[in-house]
Structure 1
């Protein structure tokens, strides 16, 4: 891997599966919910990186005909009430970006409460350690639509072509690419390397530590 040759305009980070290894918690929540309903557990990878309400609204399943928001509310009751483990390098990457003057945005399909809990409890950072948070509530269309990443670049006044993004899901990788981000790195916590590369990731890493050199112009 070579270091960056031009300055990074912004660091754009997914949350679940990228900064915090929360997918096991979510999986336990979905499995408990489906068991409670007596429904067959579907391929849960369809939820990774996407807003759950979008999945319930657009994908066929035992939830067909039900209110997506109501189904999500039931699912959340089954998710364990605990903080997720930080992905190695997450805190260091954010701190390095801020120290070097690179603006940092979290672009997530989660809600603001989970972002705050993850920053404070999982990463032991202050809420204002990032410059911007774009959550599921800030855009009409969720990942893989590029709206979230495009909004982050506009609000940061950052050139997306010079931005650096990290994502753990194919939906997230496609969303960042669709917003014009060229350097989209996959984090292999949730999907196989080949899946992220097929989605367009330039490289796939086991955690965030390999991204640290890329912040150096």
Structure 2
């Protein structure tokens, strides 16, 4: 029996974000590899959706590590009830194909060598996610052949705005913001207001995101079958 993929994220405060997440869930379901249940909303709503799933399941975060503080808190509060036929994966982090796509997005917005780069993350309660953001920045820096500064929107320091200004003070007249978040929402709109030379779009829609989520599900399915 193929475990159900339960996609988890908080969408309780943003209708545009909710629509984007449902579009992602539909795209994953269309691949036909596994049944897909969207569990989007508040802690209570997500736990209710998870409890409604019969049979084996793999809970997959519908966000990137350090890219969604609210969703990270929802996942941390998820209660699988000690079920032996259920597990959850970590959020997507420094996946080479995703970081490569992010580098391509920067180039498409006009970034050139000599411009500054700020990786705009959100933050989360977990140090593992903070390390994942650091790993993404390092991998992106290697791909671009240029330093990448990390900035945060809702937790940790420095803020994205401070990181942009620091690069400007250090002689980078043009600073590009690489958006480390999965879907468009109000926080993404805040990035557009910073006055950076360019801001990349969120990672979804991209088939690379769907590929990566399904790869997580396959790996977890193998662990459940072991």
TM-score normalized with structure 2 length = 0.39
Higher RCO (CA 8 Å, separation ≥ 6 residues): 1
